[in-house]
Amino acid sequence: MSSIIYVFFFIYVILHNNPTLFYLFTSMLIMGSILEVIKFKKMPFKNIVHIFLIIYITTSLLILIKIKLIEHGEVLLFILLSQIWASDLGGYLIGSFGKYHFSQISPNKTYEGLIGSVIFCVTTGLIAQALTPSYVEIKAIKTSCIICVSSILGDLIMSKIKRLNHKQNSGFFLPGHGGFIDRLDSLFLATPIYYLSICI
């Protein structure tokens, strides 16, 4: 239930005409994520990693705001988020039946889940392309692959940092679903890559 509320609220602030609400929401995500980063204290070169993560997270979420402000930004943001969520959902649903693990960083990830992520993400991209107005150009398969790969890598980056800190969850933002970083890890890397490849 908390995840459903989170998704619908995220969509609401994207589509809302008043950008102030989106600024406030994004600022909350930045501050919450940075607070969780500060609690990561058991890793090598922690000061360097802290600085990197703060820049990484802040830059990513500021780019989210930049996408919102460009022409047809709401549509572009919805495409990005829907495909990240589809990738996560496909990896979770198909991966739960998987037997072949592909990463020690995140032991629950399987090759079957990876295939599920790609299928769900590409399918969502094709649906988005069909529903998106013609004045917004989307190359569905290329865009979907970019988002899917970068979101999985973003997830693995944060999973590695959590493992170094012996943490399963980054915080308690969503009951039963972890913290800010747990919900946003795929978004952190996918956002700048999406912006560089699609929006420029």
The answer to whether 185 and 154 are in contact (CB under 8 A) is yes
Domain boundaries, the chain: 2-199
Dihedral pair phi/psi, residue 110, rounded to 5°: -125, 165
pLDDT digits (tens, 9 = 90+) for 156-192: 888 888 877 777 666 656 555 567 788 888 999 999 9
Which pTM value belongs to this model? 0.87
* pLDDT, tens digit (0-9, with 9 covering 90-100), for 74-97: 888 989 999 999 999 998 889 888
